[in-house]
Structure 1
Amino acid sequence: MNVVVQAINADAGTFGDWVGWANVWSLPVGATALAVVAWEKATRRAELATVDLEQAERELAAVMLAQSQVARARLLGTDQPEDTYANVKFIRGTGRFREVGGADVGDMASVLEYYRTLTPGRLVILGEPGAGKTVLALQLLIRLLEERETSGQPGPVPLLLSAASWPADHPLEQWLAQQIAQRFALSEQAAVGLIQKRRILPIIDGLDEMGVAGMSRRADSAVAALNGYMRARERAAVVVTCRNTEYAQLTTRLDRATHVEIRPLDGRKSASYLSQQLRDESDLNRWAPVLAELDAYPAGVLAAELATPWRLTLATAIYRADGDPSELLPEKDVGQTGREKYAERVNSLLLSRYVSALVRVSDDDRYSAENVERWLGKIAVHLDWRARHGLSGTDIVLSEWWRISGSIKATLAHFTLASLPALLALLPALSGEQEFFVVAAVLLLLASGAIRHPSPHHLTFRLGTSHAFRRFKSGFFSGIMTTFLGMIVAGFIGSFLPSSVQSSAMVFIFVLVTGLAGGFVGDQVGGVGAGVLLGLTAGIFGIFSFGVATQIVGELQPDSITTLVVMLAGGSVVGNVIGLVVMLNDSSPQPVGPYGVIRADGLHGLAIGLVTWLLFNLFGITLGLNAEFSSGIRVGLISGFVVSWVLVISFGSHTWCRYHLARVLAAQQRRSPMRLGGFLEWASQAGLLRISGISYQFRHSQLQHWLARGAAAEEDVRRQA
């Protein structure tokens, strides 16, 4: 306050000197005040999330229902979405310990009614590979959400989760909250609140996929965690799917749960399902021998090979456009040895032709069957590698896919890209301009953020909503008050310091270093990138606003009103920037697809880059007003571009940059196509992959393992050649 009083009472020349003091010290105080505001906002978010929990739950249920209906239609169809399903039956297992009810028999059509008889709603769905466990779980999920929507009863929101994505070192509730936050762009506080209040019904799909064959330790740990998942004094509701054999190998069973097993389809049911898939008389004529065999021998060898929905899907896909389904017929009087050879022949026939069949009927001619099979094989091999290293062996998560090109290569390429401005800054430093060593060191320190492996950022642009306006208003007034108070206190501190710190070069370096320090403090409340941005915002806009004040007051007789107006003007600029950034980070539930995670991270970096570039250009204008205008503009443009480059690549869009670098490296190694995201989306539309939250998965694990074996064998031949 002393500096402000002195400035008000000083003449025009002396006023500029006092402004210089505050000019420098507005940064640390402003950054500190912003950190305090950010901390206060972070501690209040839990309360705000609790207040909005009911709304978040409703929005989450609506998003989940829409996503699940699409996922089920794609799973039921082959080359296009389908709504006809094989009405598989399931039977309740006997001899299980501490079961909780349920009829002896149920089916897919009545799965909701069956589930409603269970207390406390804990169900284990078992079955052979391809039996329809995931589709049955999806059917239950959709029926629960539809009931919730029509009845208005606020039951828990069912959420389908891939068991393979559960890290071994993550507690259950932490993993559930992370999945909700990532998949639906929901605030972590709201996600935690939904979990803590048991407003989410976890449906854990594929317990058998939590490790490579024979490694059930992760699955055992998962079941133990689910047994400790409580709601008040009883076990909380949960649904789990698993293969029969793998579940039998576990040392732990899901407690207080009803276990049901999906039964194979007999020949007549398979024939009925196939008949519903036929589209014209030509299809009926081609399939007639197969339908007759299934009807005549409902327990025969052909019926055994087509006894699951997955096998029926394979068969219909392969012969959808052409071909002779009679290839599936067995020879007469097949003995035991003949049955085994026949099973191998049918398995090879179905799996080896599946990819080429779907490529052939696809409307998109960008991909050849040969390339599709090779790329999918490489992806399957990488998934096997992930499974052996304790990671998900089924989920293709684009934000983690950089490892396919080699972890060290991708990280080194990322750091090199972020370090380019630092390397360029060394050129004038080596020529004798030693101050550039400081600039290079600061840029290199910032670039080291590229070595990290952080979670993706999320940024949305729902600017027209009342919720977004409230967030903007909060950020706007926080910015005004922070800058206003920061400048007053900074002026007081600056009155005790020597004038040598007021040079433009020292101010600029001081802004960078203190902004970086503020970033590490900000890591505790909103991430390093957010902290750096807050530090730079406070410091540079403090310089800008007081620099303008120098020009204005140099020609006017200073008074308290002028000083107050200038301070509020600077604060309003900061408030607009902070308010915009806060508003862009909307936390309401929204559907996020696999590539949506990458896109959102890119938008986040773009916003940070534009704001940083704007700040440094305003700094350049300030320098230009106090010195040569063209020089100031050049400084603003160059420094803005350099710092924006480093911040965006290292912090703001870390995931986006790492993904795109890795896909280029992987394409050069012929491990994936150059446009990986577009290829995976096409493959999911074609029926080769499926979407599970923010990840892609192979349509079925049998297809994944078949392609992995083929790709591995091809690689062995290439190495030996």
Structure 2
Amino acid sequence: MIKKIADYIGKIGIIFIKSPIGAIKFIINFIAINITINSPVSPCLSDEKPKQDLLQLVQDEVNKKLNVFPYHGELIILKKNLHESLVKHTDLRKEPITDPDYNIFDIFNYKDGAYRKLVIVGEPGSGKTITLYELTQELIKEAKADENKPIPVVVDLCSWKKDKQSMREWLVEKLSHKYKLEKQLFINWFGERKILPLLDGLDEVKPEYQQDCVLAINKLLEEINPPQYLVVCCRIEEYESLIRNNDYSRLNFFQAIELQELTVQQIHNRLKYMKLDRIWQIIKDRGHLLKLLCTPLMLSIAIEVYTKISDRELNQFNSSAKLQPYLFNQYITIKLPHEDIPVRDRDRNIDTTRWLIWLAQNLKRRNQKEFLIEEIQPDWLPKYRIIYYIGVALILSLFSFIISILLNHIHIFNLTFVYYLVSAIIVLSIAQNPSISIVESFTWTNWSFRQVKWVWIISLFAALCLGVVNWINNGIVAGLKVTLITAIVATIVSLPTGFTGVERPRKTYANQGIIKSCKNAVIFGFCLGLISTLIGILIGILIDLRIDGLLNLLKVDAILGIIVGLMSGLFMGGITCIQHFILRLILRWNGLPWNFTLFLDYATQKGFLQGIGGSYQFMHDLLRDHFATQLPRYQNKVQ
């Protein structure tokens, strides 16, 4: 890395001797090559490539989701009942489906697609999400075969909340963030009715927002160019409670289906297929056990832990509500044993259990399903927020002190004044957005003068003050020179703060955002530092600026270049890295792993989490909820 930078500096020096302007162009090209800077999407360009990319991304997601849990053989075809009372049934002439063994795609296409605005409801663990992804898989095949068919996209509603955004705007933002494609593409596709939203988890929307969420979905269907088709999944109890309280909370769809419990015969057939007659003999005459295993999820869990189930223990449970936590605990014990294993492995499993509890509780509290390492925010540790801010402030103060020393070294700035000035600029930039913002790539169209305004105004005011001080002490010429230098430095440093960092690159590995933010900070700092040095030399030559000769001029410009590089690096990803480092330090102090990726991958390997790109989520919401309700005995320091 050092050799590479030295080579670039050598090239820049040679080019600068021949043409100073050429050297600046060389540096700008270097930035363009090494940092992702997004350009706006041109409506004239074909969107076929992004469409194919999106289809492939959805296909990859479906493939992982359908292998998300050990269902032990082919997925059971769930019986389905029509539940017309759950929707506003806008067309009573449609003939009802009478065969409960219809698969979901057959129902969706029934009567030439008359049911393509569909609500899927069922009990927890009944297979709603799996059914939704089965439908998505068939719709992907349809979209690949016919380019006029809309692209199916699955969106979790859990993070929806009432604000000024319409449902269409919220979906555009959510899909752009999820699939890392430009917002404008999704805006265009929605306008052309080329997107088929499949909305999962209406029941996971905060209760106070659920009614508004339904109204927003209904309003989406009344807009100009609404989606041709739409599917929503929800737990039956929550949806019935919603419409019981307010009849306006019915979705304005054509039909609703309810996924039925597994029949006794289906349970028997699956256990027989798995050669688990022993389990069947235990449960066949126990109604509460059959009741619990009537969902695909719990049947799969029971099959997974059958070696740990004893008749004596099962007889202690007289209700499915008590048996479910027992089965989950047995599943955890099998995957993360604490006994009869080497001490090192035991400690690792105990830690993993504790960390999974912490992760589940935080995801549950924030109404989130997906977890990305780089998206951990200070509010994940509310008790230590003050310590976090103090830690960030100390490191940034160190940078301010270094910059102040450098400025003082050229004898034209007051050390104390500059220290407080630089600190104020940095604090002001963080105060605008106290959360950790990933600076992974940039978009020219989202450059905002509003973002820059106050940092730039304060910097220019400081330049004017320093110029006046030097005018009084050293004369008008010296004052003008200092004002010019500091104004240029202030402008160069403040301009990058107007970029909006956007997470366009698709996540392919954990913590990708922080790693790229760090890379951008180094590249931007290095390149802008060089540019400012070259500009300073040019200005010195043009206006005959001299401070005791050429060597002093070069020294001043080099110091100013270092300062601009440090400041630019901080604003273009450095502050993000510092914030994340302090947060991770506090998490480690509280008993969480320093190598988060290792923990997440281990939990994925053990069957608790599922990794998609750089994000992770629990295999099932019920498993997450079980971890979230565990007793504090596992938690030790983690809070």
- Normalising by the smaller structure, the TM-score range is 0.7 to 0.9
Distance (Å, rounded) in 1 between the aligned partners of 2:289 and 2:355:
32
| Correspondence 1:32-51 to 2 at 5 A | 45=40, 48-49=42-43, 51=45
Alpha-carbon distance between aligned partners in 1 of 2:514 and 2:101, rounded to the nearest angstrom: 36
Once residues 371 and 551 of structure 2 are traced to their aligned partners in structure 1, the CA distance between those partners, rounded to angstroms, is 51
Against the structure 1 CA distance between its residues 655 and 514, is the aligned structure 2 distance closer, same or farther, given a 3 Å change threshold? closer
Match of 2:587 in 1: 666
In 2, Cα distance between the equivalents of 1:233 and 1:624? 60
Cα distance in 2, alignment partners of residues 415 and 190 from structure 1:
40
Structure 1 contact 413–661 (Cα < 8 Å) conserved: yes
The answer as to 2:214 corresponding to 1:223 is: yes
Asked if the contact 2:354–2:634 (Cα under 8 Å) also holds between the matched residues in 1, the reply is no
Indicate conservation of the 8 Å contact 2:392/2:579, yes or no: yes
Q: Classify 1:330/1:381 alpha carbon distance in 2 versus 1 (closer, same or farther; 3 Å).
A: closer
CA spacing shift, 1:162–1:718, aligned 2, 3 Å:
closer
After TM superposition, the score normalised by the length of structure 2 is 0.73
Question: 2:348 matched to which residue of 1?
Answer: 368
Q: 1:655 to 1:716 in 2, by over 3 A?
A: closer
* 1:157 and 2:148 are equivalent in the alignment: no
In structure 2, the CA distance between the partners of 1:604 and 1:429, relative to structure 1 (3 Å rule), is closer
Matched, 1:123 2:118: yes
- CA offsets 1:418-475 (integer angstroms, 9 cap, x no match): 3422134456889997444564314640453234137534449xxxxxxxxxx9xxxx
CA distance, structure 2, for counterparts of residue 717 and residue 518 of structure 1 = 43
Are 1:168 and 2:162 matched, yes or no? yes
Question: Does 2:87 correspond to 1:111?
Answer: no
CA distance in 1, matches of 2:105, 2:184: 31
Q: 2:491 aligns with which of 504, 508, 514?
A: 514
Residue 310 of structure 1 aligns with an amino acid whose one-letter code is L
Which residue in the other structure is 2:428 paired with? 448
**Of 257, 263, 267, which residue of structure 2 is paired with 1:260?**
257
Alignment of 1:450-599 (within 5 A): 450-451=430-431, 452=433, 453=435, 455-459=437-441, 500=478, 503=481, 505-516=482-493, 518=495, 523=498, 526-527=499-500, 590=506, 595-599=511-515
The structure where helix makes up a greater share of residues is 1
What's the TM-score, normalizing by structure 1? 0.66
Q: Does residue 611 of structure 1 match 2:611?
A: no
State how far apart, in whole Å, the 1-side matches of 2:557 and 2:102 are.
66
1:700 aligns with 2:616: no
- Where do residues 578-657 of structure 1 align in structure 2 (5 Å cutoff)? 590=506, 595-616=511-532, 618=534, 639-652=560-573, 655-657=576-578
Q: Given the alignment of the two structures, is residue 688 of structure 1 paired with residue 635 of structure 2, yes or no?
A: no
1:311 aligns with 2:298: yes
| Cα offset, 1:195, TM superposition | 2.8
* Aligned equivalent of 2:3: none
Closer/same/farther in 2, CA of residues 373 and 418 from structure 1, 3 Å limit: same
C-alpha distance in 2 between matches for 1:429 and 1:640: 11
Alpha-carbon contact 2:115-2:255 (below 8 Å) kept: no
Partner of 1:710: 630
Alignment counterpart, residue 242 of structure 1, candidates 217, 220, 234: 234
3-state SS in 2 of match to 1:76:
coil
Relative CO higher for 1 or 2, CA cutoff 8 Å, sep ≥ 6?
1
Q: 1:664 to 1:599 in 2, by over 3 A?
A: same
- Find the aligned partners of 2:213 and 2:96 in 1 and give their Cα distance: 27
Determine the C-alpha separation between the residues in 2 that align with 1:423 and 1:108: 72
Q: Which moved more, 1:127-136 or 1:410-419?
A: 410-419
RMSD: 4.2
Superposition deviation, residue 618 in structure 1: 4.1
Q: Distance in 2 between matches of 1:414 and 1:596?
A: 21
Q: Which runs of 5+ in 2 are unaligned?
A: 1-19, 29-36, 445-475
Distance in 2 (alpha carbons) for counterparts of 1:351 and 1:242: 23
Question: AA paired with 2:599?
Answer: F
Checking the alignment, whether the CA contact within 8 Å between 2:439 and 2:517 is kept in structure 1 is yes
In the TM superposition, what whole-angstrom CA distance separates every residue of 1:480-524 from its partner, at most 9, and x where no partner exists?
xxxxxxxxxxxxxxxxxx865663x5443111222355456xx3x
Separation in structure 1 between the aligned mates of residue 375 and residue 98 of structure 2, nearest angstrom: 42
Instruction: Measure, in 2, the Cα distance between the counterparts of 1:586 and 1:71.
Output: 23
Tell me the distance in 2 between the aligned counterparts of 1:516 and 1:662: 26
For the residue of structure 1 that corresponds to 2:168, the secondary structure is helix
1:118-171 CA distances to partner (integer Å, 9 max, x unpaired)? Answer: 43722111111111111111111111112222x233322111111112243243
**Kindly tell me: are residues 187 and 607 of structure 1, through their superposed partners in 2, closer, same or farther at Cα, counting changes over 3 Å?**
farther
Contact persistence 1:127–1:242 (CA under 8 A): yes
Any idea what SS the aligned residue of 1:245 has?
helix
Q: Describe how 1:179-328 pairs up with structure 2 within 5 A.
A: 179-211=174-206, 216-230=207-221, 232=224, 236-250=228-242, 251=246, 252-274=249-271, 278=274, 284=275, 287-293=276-282, 300-319=287-306, 323-327=307-311
For 1:91, the equivalent position in structure 2 comes to 81
Alignment length (residue pairs): 548
Structure 1 residues 700 and 604: alpha-carbon distance in aligned structure 2, compared to 1, 3 A threshold: same
| Counterpart residue identity of residue 413, structure 1 | G
Cα distance per residue 1:540-572 (max 9 Å; x no partner): xxxxxxxxxxxxxxxxxxxxxxxxxxxxxxxxx
Deviation at 1:261, TM superposition (A): 0.9
CA deviation vs aligned residue, 1:42-71 (integer Å, no higher than 9, x gap): 9x935x046333432222112211222122
User: How far 1:112 moved relative to its partner?
Assistant: 1.6
